[in-house]
Amino acid sequence: MWFKNLQKDEFLIVPGVYDAFSALIAQKVGFKAVYLSGAALTSSMGLPDLGLITLDELAESVRRIRRVVEIPIIVDADTGFGESLNVFRTVKVLEESGASAIQIEDQRSPKKCGHLEQKEVVSQQEMVEKLIAALDARKESLIIARTDARGVTGIDDAITRAKKYHEIGADIIFPEALLNEEEFKQVSKAVDAPLLANMTEFGKTPYITAEKFKNMGYRIVIFPVTAFRGAAKALMDIYSYLFNSGTQVPFLDRLMTRADQYQVINYRFYEDLDKKFYKKSGSFLQ
């Protein structure tokens, strides 16, 4: 269904999430898909985004989110956890865990955030082999091919790779760390594929609105770490104030209420379910 929507030119703003609770909030706000960000997930685990987490850890995070949300989950699978055979298994595992779309990038391991210096990319052939494996493994999930070539070999190579990745079957193309609107327009004009743009903070890409991305021909714009960074700043502020003052009172208007928290996690549903089980069990004991 989601793929059909993409084919009909639906434009999606997709927020980054890092756990089941953040995904639930995104769904309740009204977003039609979420992006399980590798950067946000690894930071939530106290680790840098250098390909340190395992496939099992990522798959478990996907399962936890899938248990509570119904909307599509785009999963950042970094470099696919190895070579083509590893990518084949990665796609199988993540799709079984509940991924709706799986993103594979053409960086060389250990990968880095796409907006940092000194990253490297694998050969085009190596990435093509990985994508062939991913496409062979998937049943219904979309395959997103990300190229980091812009920051390594230049915009022309990034476009060449993007066109090749789509030619072999990648459903969505993700050109990472472009430097300005002109480069985004250049890719859109050259690559006849559904395109995904990354609107992260404090990186190489200037701040561009979702509406501008839509007008440039992009189909999806992700905000991968925005919510995590906002939550992290709130944690730092609240913990610092608690440490120094011993009270949370000045922050009450910035806290989610108990009622809102319970509404997000469907507390009443489980409470009513427990009552139902209790009542039903009583009928068997009379």
Residue 3, both tokens: 């793929």
- 216 shares its domain with 275: no
- 63 shares its domain with 202: yes
Structural domain containing residue 258: 232-284
Rounded Cα distance between 15 and 226, Å, is 8
End residue of a domain, out of 204, 224, 244 = 224
Predicted local distance difference test score (pLDDT) of residue 86: 98
pLDDT confidence bin for 13, thresholds 50/70/90? very high
How many C-beta neighbours within 10 Å does residue 117 have? 8
End residue of a domain, out of 195, 224, 253 = 224
In this structure, are residues 71 and 24 in contact, taking their beta carbons and an 8 Å threshold? no
Backbone Cα Rg of the chain: 21
Predicted local distance difference test score (pLDDT) of residue 75: 98
- 44 shares its domain with 134: yes
- 252 shares its domain with 132: no
What CATH number has the domain bearing residue 168? 3.20.20.60
Look at the chain and report how many structural domains it folds into: 2
- 201 shares its domain with 251: no
Asked if residue 4 has pLDDT above 70, the reply is no
- 176 shares its domain with 254: no
pLDDT confidence bin for 9, thresholds 50/70/90? low
What tens digit of pLDDT does each residue of 171-201 get? 999 999 999 999 999 999 999 999 999 999 9
- 143 shares its domain with 253: no
